[in-house]
């Protein structure tokens, strides 16, 4: 969003928010609110980035598949034994980890939505808030989220709600000030007419 014009950024953000409205409506139906739209976009962005293939990991493991003078890997007998054990364990033959490759638009939207987290930098302890919000959006352990956000407080559900509310509030304020987008009727958003 930083390399585009304000009009392009606004149009792009409105399309992302429209997509977030669909996600929030699918999750909560008529009870969905503007905060749910923002939060569902964050959850989806984290999910897309987590599913994106890790190139560095692929480069590190590439030596296991390469041939050459000293073949690295398993022998044919070892592979047959592993497949036999998988079959006895009720696993499908040759069933591996499913690989998903997100579409380019999904990755662009995810990176753009995660860029909105910069608006949380006006918080009192921005690092704690952003780390806890990302961990919460990832579906992290509640204890971890509490330790990240408020290590001195006793863990409770109000802390989780506070993280969501503050994060969404800072993003809504940033959308209004920087891009000129405000909540509209239902769970939609609109441009500020100046």
114 falls within a domain: yes
**Interior angle at CA 15, CA 136 and CA 11, nearest 5:** 120
CA dihedral 135, 139, 144, 146 (to 10 degrees): 80
pLDDT at 67: 46
Same domain, residue pair 14 and 67: no
pLDDT at 75: 75
Same domain, residue pair 105 and 163: yes
- The three-state secondary structure class of 189 is strand
62 falls within a domain: yes
E strand segments, 137-183:
181-183
* Range of the structural domain that residue 27 is part of: 6-53+101-191
pLDDT at 7: 85
Please say which residue of 88, 109, 144 terminates a domain. 88
Please say which residue of 38, 65, 88 terminates a domain. 88
Same domain, residue pair 75 and 124: no
Q: What's the pTM value of the predicted model, to 2 decimals?
A: 0.73
Please say which residue of 88, 111, 133 terminates a domain. 88
30 falls within a domain: yes
18 falls within a domain: yes
pLDDT digit string (tens) for the chain, length 194 residues:
455 678 888 999 999 999 999 999 999 999 999 999 999 999 999 998 888 776 655 555 555 444 443 345 667 787 778 777 777 766 655 555 555 666 778 889 999 999 999 999 988 888 999 999 999 998 877 788 888 888 888 877 888 889 999 999 999 999 999 999 999 999 999 998 76
User: Diameter of the chain by CA atoms?
Assistant: 73
Separation of alpha carbons 19 and 41, rounded Å: 8
Separation of alpha carbons 190 and 168, rounded Å: 17
Same domain, residue pair 124 and 183: yes
96 falls within a domain: no
Domain total for the chain? 2
pLDDT at 71: 46
Separation of alpha carbons 43 and 1, rounded Å: 19
**Interior angle at CA 83, CA 80 and CA 88, nearest 5:** 125
93 falls within a domain: no
Same domain, residue pair 66 and 16: no
170 falls within a domain: yes
């Amino acid at each position: 969003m930083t390399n585009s014009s304000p009009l392009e950024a606004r149009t792009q953000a409105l399309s992302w928010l429209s997509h977030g409205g669909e996600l929030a409506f699918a999750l909560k139906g008529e009870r969905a609110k503007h905060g749910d739209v923002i939060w569902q976009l964050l959850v989806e962005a984290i999910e897309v980035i987590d599913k994106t293939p890790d190139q560095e990991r692929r480069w590190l493991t590439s030596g296991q598949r390469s041939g050459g003078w000293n073949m690295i890997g398993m022998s044919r007998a070892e592979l047959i034994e592993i497949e036999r054990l998988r079959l006895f364990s009720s696993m499908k033959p040759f069933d591996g980890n499913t690989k998903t490759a997100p579409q380019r638009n999904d990755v662009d939207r995810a990176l753009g939505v995660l860029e909105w987290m910069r608006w949380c930098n006006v918080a009192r302890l921005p690092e704690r808030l952003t780390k806890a919000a990302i961990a919460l959006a990832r579906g992290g352990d509640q204890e971890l989220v509490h330790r990240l956000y408020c290590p001195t407080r006793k863990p409770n559900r109000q802390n989780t709600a506070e993280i969501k509310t503050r994060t969404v509030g800072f993003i809504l304020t940033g959308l209004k000030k920087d891009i000129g987008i405000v909540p509209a009727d239902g769970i939609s958003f609109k441009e500020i007419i100046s």
